[in-house]
Homo-oligomer: A and B are copies of this chain.
Amino acid sequence: MPDGLGAALEEPIFERAAIIGVGLIGSSLAHVMRRKGLARAVVAYDASADVRTRAREIGLADVVPESLAEAVEGADLVMLCAPVGAMAKIAAEMAPHLKPGAIVSDVGSVKASVAADLGEALPAHVHVVPGHPVAGTEQSGPDAGFATLFRNRWTILTPPEGADAQAVARMTRFWEGAGAHVETMAPAHHDLVLAITSHVPHLIAYNIVGTASDLEDSARAEVIKFSAGGFRDFTRIAASDPVMWRDIFLANKDAVLEMLGRFTEDLTALQRMIRRGDGEGLETLFTRTRAIRRGIIDLGQETAAPDFGRRAKED
């Protein structure tokens, strides 16, 4: 298949899958579920009436009901795709309407707090299998999704101790059907790994773009004009959904502060090298960091094209 997702499944993994929250991830899930036949019926719901209307306009799902209760009713998969700070409230509200034996999963970027929230709010007769697809773009909303978002990316499942093995296996097949590689780990370990691969990078991108936007007006105009020197890459990350990221930093506070502490220590050492004119120290670090990128490209998590392939080489 030209999109690299392969043929649709002969038998769907779920009869009725409900996507709660139709942003980038929720809408991408809707696309790939239908493209690959992962669920016989796809239900999409969003707390925003505007988003629901838009989801209907673009035909994102088989049904876009008007209430959360209707959305989850009869679903054998409920996929929470809302900001992590909203999970507890949604879980409590939908709890009485869940079908016994249903799997409740999510796509939140923080896992320990979500696992606790869901475990507390949901009845014992559903299977909670939290997850996190490590994939995204800086865009958000129901129009941002596309079926190949998860292709060749990792999804991390963080089932609680004593989780139903069949439910975990089903979620694994589901994500593999969406094109992802699946790995299972403890929630706290996930949160620490993601703090350094995702949360702190976002934090410092937000921070430097903020520093630049605090410059006086004339300097700010120049920053925008001459951004091709490196700055514009940071602005992509710093254009990500503000509410989603606010919630991530609040929910993963401890791991983020731990990794931020290491980052700051290292930055202080680097600052000292510059102040003292330690060229050898700088060059050693800058040489070492090249190897990491090589590893990422070799693992297929990145394009080797210069400048991310932003522009084709035309000569």
Residues in chain A within 8 A of chain B (CB atoms): 2-4, 31-32, 35, 85, 109, 134-139, 144, 146-148, 153-154, 156, 183, 192-194, 196-215, 219-220, 222-240, 242-243, 245-247, 249-250, 253, 256-257, 259-260, 262-264, 266-267, 270-271, 274-275, 277, 279, 282-283, 285-296, 299, 301-303, 306-311, 313-315
Contacts and interface: CB of A to CB of B under 8 A. Distances in A.
Nearest to A181: B225
Contacts of A293: 138, 209, 232, 235-236, 238-239
A297 B212 CA distance: 16
Given A204-B208, A288-B210, A250 B279 contact: yes
Nearest to A280: B246
A198 B229 contact: yes
A291 B206 CA distance: 12
Given A226-B194, A237-B230, A315-B147, A242 B283 contact: yes
Most chain B CB within 10 A, of A35, A136, A205, A215, is at A205
Chain A residues touching B, majority SS: helix
Contacts of A135: 228
Contact of A282 (B200, B215, B250, B303): B250
Nearest to A209: B289
B238 A290 contact: yes
B230 A250 contact: no
A133 to B, nearest CB: 9
Nearest to A265: B211
Contacts of A197: 212, 222-223, 226-227, 229-231
A299 B224 contact: yes
A224 B310 contact: no
A259 B137 CA distance: 28
A227 to B, nearest CB: 5
A282 to B, nearest CB: 4
A301 B144 contact: no
Given A299-B224, A301-B224, A309 B306 contact: no
Nearest to A195: B229
B315 A146 contact: yes
29 contacts: A2-B314, A3-B315, A137-B307, A138-B307, A148-B313, A196-B212, A197-B227, A199-B229, A201-B229, A204-B208, A207-B263, A207-B266, A210-B266, A210-B289, A211-B266, A214-B266, A224-B292, A227-B301, A228-B302, A232-B296, A238-B293, A239-B290, A242-B283, A253-B274, A260-B271, A260-B274, A264-B264, A264-B271, A308-B310
A207 to B, nearest CB: 5
A238 B230 CA distance: 10
A270 B288 CA distance: 29
B215 A196 contact: yes
A166 to B, nearest CB: 26
Contacts of A85: 279
